[in-house]
Amino acid sequence: MKITDKKRALVAVEELKKLYPDAQCSLESGGDPWRLLVMARLSAQCTDERVNIVCRDLFRELPTANAMAAAPVEQIEGLIKSCGLYRGKAKSIKEFSEILVRDHDGCVPDTMEELLALPGVGRKIANLILGDVFKKGGIVADTHCMRICGRLGFYPEGQKDPLKTERIMTPIIPKEEQSDFCHRIVHFGRDVCTARSPKCGECPLSEVCLHNNKSQKSGKTSLASS
Near ligand SF4 by CB under 6 A, which window of 55-63, 93-101, 197-205, 217-225? Answer: 197-205
192 makes contact with ligand SF4 (CB under 6 A): yes
Q: How many residues appear in the chain?
A: 226
According to CB under 6 A, which one of 23, 200, 223, 225 is a site residue for ligand SF4?
Answer: 200
State how far the Cα of 162 lies from the Cα of 45, in Å rounded to an integer. 15
| Residue 206 binds ligand SF4 (CB under 6 A) | yes
Give least dist CB 27 to ligand SF4, A: 24
Q: For ligand SF4, which stretch binds (CB under 6 A), given 32-40, 102-110, 147-155, 161-169?
A: 147-155
Contacts by residues 144-149 (CB-CB < 8 Å, ≥ 24 positions apart): 144/185, 144/186, 144/188, 144/189, 144/190, 144/193, 145/169, 145/182, 145/185, 145/186, 145/189, 147/189, 147/193, 147/195, 148/185, 148/188, 148/189, 148/193, 149/185
212 binds ligand SF4 (CB under 6 A): yes
Task: Please report, as residue ranges, which positions from 151 to 190 form the binding site for ligand SF4 (by CB under 6 A).
Answer: 151-152
How many alpha carbons fall within 13 Å on the CB side of residue 182? 28
124 is annotated as an active-site residue? yes
Stretch that binds ligand SF4, among 32-40, 114-122, 144-152, 169-177 (CB under 6 A): 144-152
- The residue among 92 and 212 lying less far from ligand SF4, judged by its C-beta, is 212
